[in-house]
Amino acid sequence: MKHFPIFLDLEHQKTLVVGGGEAAAQKVRLMLKTAVAIVVISERVTPELAEFARIGRIAWVARKFQESDLDGSRLVFVAGQSGQLSEHISQLAQTRNIPVNVVDQAALCSFLMPAIVDRDPVTIAIGTEGTAPVLARRLKSTIEGLLPPRLGELARFAQELRPRVAREIPEGVARRSFWDAFFFGKIRDAFFSENTVNGSAGLSRAIDAEISGHGTDRGGSVALVGAGPGDPELLTLKAQRKLQEADVIVHDRLIGPAILDYARRDAERIDVGKAPGRLSPSQHDINRILIDQAVLGKTVVRLKGGDPYIFGRGAEEQAALEEHGITVEIVPGITSAAACAASVKLPLTTRGRNRSLTILTGTTQNGAADHDWQALAAPGQAFAIYMGVANACHLQQELLTAGIAPRTPVVIVENGTLPNERCVSTRIQHLKRTIRAERIKGPAIIYVGLSWPSAHQVSAPDTQSIGEIIPFPTSIQQTYATDGPLKEFAR
C-alpha cells in the first residue's frame, strides 16, 4: 500500500483551493461536508462558487496564486491550472510538508482523494491508488446500495443511547449483544420504520425490551422480498440489503443464481420451487418452513419472483406468519408485466388509447381462470395475463365468444429480462396457434390490446409464419405475424 488511508480532522483549518472552474467546485463541494475553512484562489469562479462566497461558506480571493497563499494551509488542491503552475504549487506545498492534490495529475499529488460513501458519521473511503477510478466508482455505488440511507442517523442515535446502555447493561457479552440487536436487529428495524426518533412508540418498545433483558429473546423475522423478473439488475436496493442480512433464504425455482449471489455466502438456501419430476412443497409446507426458521430466531428472506403481492401468495404467507406472532416485512419487487413490457419497449398505457390496464391470471388452483370476459372483450381494453400459456386455448375462446375483435393485437414475452428472452406478437384469433408453433413454454406474460408506438414500427419481412405479418420494433429480434400496422387494427 503506497497511500495510507486516514481520516483527518480539518475543523476550522485552512484548505487552499487554487482554481475556480468545475473541477475546483467539485472539491469544494466535497470539502464543505466538513467544517473546514476553504479559501479559493482564482480570478474567476463558477456561479456556484461565487454563491458559496456570497453566503460566507468559502472565502474567495479573486486574483492569481501567490506563494504566501500557502501560509497556514493544512491541505492544498490545485484544479484546472496550467501544467507548469500546477507543478510549481505542488513543489512549494511539498517543501512545506503540506499535503497537495493536483486534479488528474497523480504524479504531482502527495495525497489522493478516495471515492466516498457518506452516511455521516459513518464514512467509507475507497481508493485504488489511482489505478482504477471506474472500479472505485462502481464499488462506491454498490456500497451505496447496500447501506440504508439513514445509517448515519442510526449511528448518531447509538451515540445518544450510549450513557443509558452503559448504566443499565453490564459490559461484556450482554452489552455486545445489545449493540448487535441495535445495529442489525429489532431496534434497527424499528428505527428505520419510524419517521422520527422522538415519540416513536415502536422504537421505544424495542429499546426497552432489549435493555430489560427481553432483548436476549432473539425473535426471528421474515421479509417477503420481490426479486423482480429475473435480471439481477432489477433487484431493488432494499432487496439486495435484505439478501445480505438474511440467515436463511427460502426461494422459488425461478430465482436464478445471479440473484442468489447477492446473499451472504454462509446463508442457508432452501429451494421450495416446483420442479419437474420432484415432489414440490405445498403452500402449507412453505408456511411451516418460514415459521420454523423464524421461531429459531433467524432472519429469513422469502424470495419471490416479481412482486410478492402479485400472484405471489404473499398474502397467505403473511397471514400464516402473523398468526404465529412473527414480524413480517414486505419488500416490493418489479412485477413481470412491468418489466417485460419495458424490456420490449411496449408501453402499458398510451394517452388516447387505454386508460387502464388489467392484470389477471390465466390459471388458478382449479385450472383455467374465469373472468368477466365481456368486460375484457370490450373495445379499448388492455390486459396483461400472468400464467396464461397453458390455458391459452381457453383464454382465446372465451374472449372471442365474448365478442373481442379477432384482430386485437397480442404480444407475448417469454423469459422477460433474461438472456433467453423472446418476444412474439400475433392477434388474439391466432393466440393458441402461435403459442404452439413457437413452442412457448413460459414463464411468459401475454399482453392483449397493446401495441408499440407507430414510430417504433417497421415493415416486417414476409415471413412464413403462421397467421399474418405484424410490424414490430427493429430492436426486437424475434417476433411474429399479422398483416398491417397494428395502429390500423379495427375492432
Ligand X SMILES: C[S@@+](CC[C@H](N)C(=O)[O-])C[C@H]1O[C@@H](n2cnc3c(N)ncnc32)[C@H](O)[C@@H]1O
What are the catalytic residues? 252, 274
Give the residue from 43, 35, 56 showing the smallest Cα distance to 120: 35
AA identity, residue 229: P
Q: Decide if residue 306 touches ligand X (CB under 6 A).
A: yes
Provide the strand spans (E) within 244-391.
248-251, 268-271, 299-304, 327-331, 358-361, 363-364, 367-368, 383-386
Cβ of residue 468: shortest distance to ligand X, in angstroms? 24
Nearest distance in Å: CB 309, ligand X: 8
Q: How many helices (H) and strands (E) does the chain have?
A: 16, 21
Whether the CB-CB separation of 46 and 25 falls below 8 Å is answered with yes
Q: Does 471 bind ligand X (CB under 6 A)?
A: no
**Per-residue DSSP letter, 58:** S
Q: Toward ligand X, which CB reaches closer, 29 or 441? A: 441
Q: Of residues 86, 90, 101, 335, which one binds ligand X by CB under 6 A?
A: 335
Report in angstroms how near the CB of residue 337 gets to ligand X at its nearest: 7
Nearer to ligand X, 408 or 417 (CB): 417
Give the whole-angstrom CA distance, residue 59 versus residue 186: 46
Q: Which residue has cell 502527495?
A: 110
Q: Does 340 sit near ligand X (CB under 6 A)?
A: yes
Closest separation in Å from C-beta 273 to ligand X: 10
Confirm or reject binding of residue 92 to ligand X (CB under 6 A): no
The verdict on 399 binding ligand X (CB under 6 A) reads no
306 neighbors 229 (Cβ within 8 angstroms):
yes
The three cell numbers of residue 282 are: 405445498
Q: Give whichever of 159 and 365 is closer to ligand X, judged by the CB atom.
A: 365
Contact flags string 244-283 toward ligand X, x per CB under 6 A = ----------x-----------------------------
Q: Is 445 near ligand X (CB under 6 A)?
A: yes
Stretch that binds ligand X, among 86-94, 306-314, 364-372, 469-477 (CB under 6 A): 306-314
CA-to-CA distance for 226 and 442, rounded, in angstroms?
Answer: 19
Closest CB to ligand X among residues 17, 440: 440
**Of 334, 340, 344, the residue nearest 388 (C-alpha):** 340
> What letter would DSSP give residue 344?
T
Among 20, 127, 220, 230, binds ligand X (CB under 6 A): 230
Q: Which residues contact 149 (CB under 8 A, 6 or more apart)?
A: 119
Q: Is 310 in the site for ligand X (CB under 6 A)?
A: yes
Residues from 406 through 435 that contact ligand X (CB under 6 A): 413, 415-418
Assess whether the previous peptide bond of 471 is cis (omega < 30° from 0): no
Q: What residue is closest to ligand X based on CB?
A: 306
Of residues 448-467, those binding ligand X (CB under 6 A)? none
Q: Are 302 and 250 in contact (CB under 8 A)?
A: yes
- Between 220 and 306, name the residue whose CB sits nearer to ligand X: 306
Q: Return the range that interacts with ligand X (CB under 6 A); candidates 107-115, 291-299, 393-401, 441-449.
A: 441-449
Task: Give percent helix, percent strand, percent coil of the chain, each to the nearest 5.
Answer: 35, 20, 45
Contacting positions for ligand X (CB under 6 A): 229-230, 254, 304-307, 310-312, 335-336, 340, 386-387, 413, 415-418, 442-445
